[in-house]
Structure 1
Amino acid sequence: MSRIMTVTEDKARSEVLRLYGNRLRIRVCGLYREGDRLLMVRHRGINPSDTFWCPPGGGLQFGEQTREGLVREFDEETGLKIEVGEMLFVNEFMEPPLHALELFFVVHAIGGSLRQGTDPEMSLDGQIIEDVRLMTFDEIKSYPPEEVHTLFGRCHSIEEVFALRGYFGS
């Protein structure tokens, strides 16, 4: 059964393509864990199902250092103030017309409070962040593979996520 796209979904998809489509981006992503749960952000406008869960993060701005960018992105998307730890791996995300090199780091919360944030690059009616929450690995894996970041297809537990090292193509 095909799904009819709403005006809001169409606006979000248009914003994503306008801002990020047909260009290579460098993204920084943070893996924040509380016990057996990992912090995840739900985006719309990324794929045909209009649901895409991934760890918080986003594109670096010109002249911005990597760790600075991750601190900024976490604050914008989640409300958490973080300290950036070890860099774990690089993932090449390629879902044409989107293409990004993603640098994944361990992060630790040092303040703030968890909330659903916004993406300042997006217009008010084109926001793509729909939810921010801590999820167990089983919750993450309960979604169809195309609705979660590809890194979760490489792992069978949250411990394996934090053990990933090296470069991964999409």
Structure 2
Amino acid sequence: MGKPQTEVVSIYGNRLRLRVCGLFREGNRLLMVRHRGLGPANTFWSPPGGGVEFGETAPNALIREFAEETGLDVAIGELLFVNEFVAPPLHAVELFFAVQRIGGSLRKGIDPEMRPDDQLIDEVRFMGFDEIKEQSPEKIHALFRYCSSLEDVFQLRGYLHY
């Protein structure tokens, strides 16, 4: 296991983690974050998001995570679906919200839980759905397995599990 994966397991492993994720669309593209050192391929694309801290509401956590990871200020919309990821030692329950941009400038952000020389965020950019689906399954969030279009992503409801 590479150094980033070892650090991820030491920080997030062997406990349940509540995460919030935001689906932000511009035209026919979705904002995505590429993380290094995650998953079997050591690279992983997913919508922006992160952990909820004790005493923090889910919407406030997502506003904070968007600012940290993308530089964007967002308004939180509807809770769309819940995804549960169980792959010991990692276990996360993810709440996916629709978000709208209200300010800020898009940039590659940081993950404050990680040391400066071990940052996970590699890239932040908008991707078309075809480009998302071209990624091998281990390099992309599992939610996309349930979808055949960007519209499908925003129609997902209920509980997903992988």
Contact 1:24 1:99 in 2 (8 A): yes
Identify the residue that residue 50 of structure 2 maps to in structure 1: 58
Unpaired segments ≥5 residues, structure 2: none
State the TM-score, normalized to the length of structure 1. 0.93
Q: Please name the residue that 2:144 is paired with.
A: 152
Aligned pairs for 1:11-90 (under 5 A) are 11-90=3-82
Q: Which residue of 1 aligns with 2:109?
A: 117
Q: Is the 8 A contact 1:11 1:125 kept in 2?
A: no
Q: TM-score scaled by structure 2?
A: 0.97
Structure 1 spans left out of the alignment, 5+ residues: none
Alpha-carbon distance in 2 for matches of 1:76, 1:131: 13
**Cα-to-partner distance string for 1:43-87 (whole Å, 9 max, x where unaligned):** 122212111000000000000011000000000000000000000
The letter for the 2-side match of 1:108 is: Q
Aligned-pair Cα RMSD in Å = 0.9
CA shift digits 1:74-108 (9 cap, x unpaired)? 00000000000000000001232211000000000
Tell me the percent identity: 63
Kept in 1: contact 2:40–2:138 (CA 8 A): no
Q: In structure 1, what residue type is equivalent to 2:157?
A: R
Give the whole-Å Cα distance in 1 for the aligned partners of 2:108 and 2:85: 24
Q: Is the 2:80–2:98 Cα contact (8 Å) retained in structure 1?
A: yes
2:87 is matched with: 95
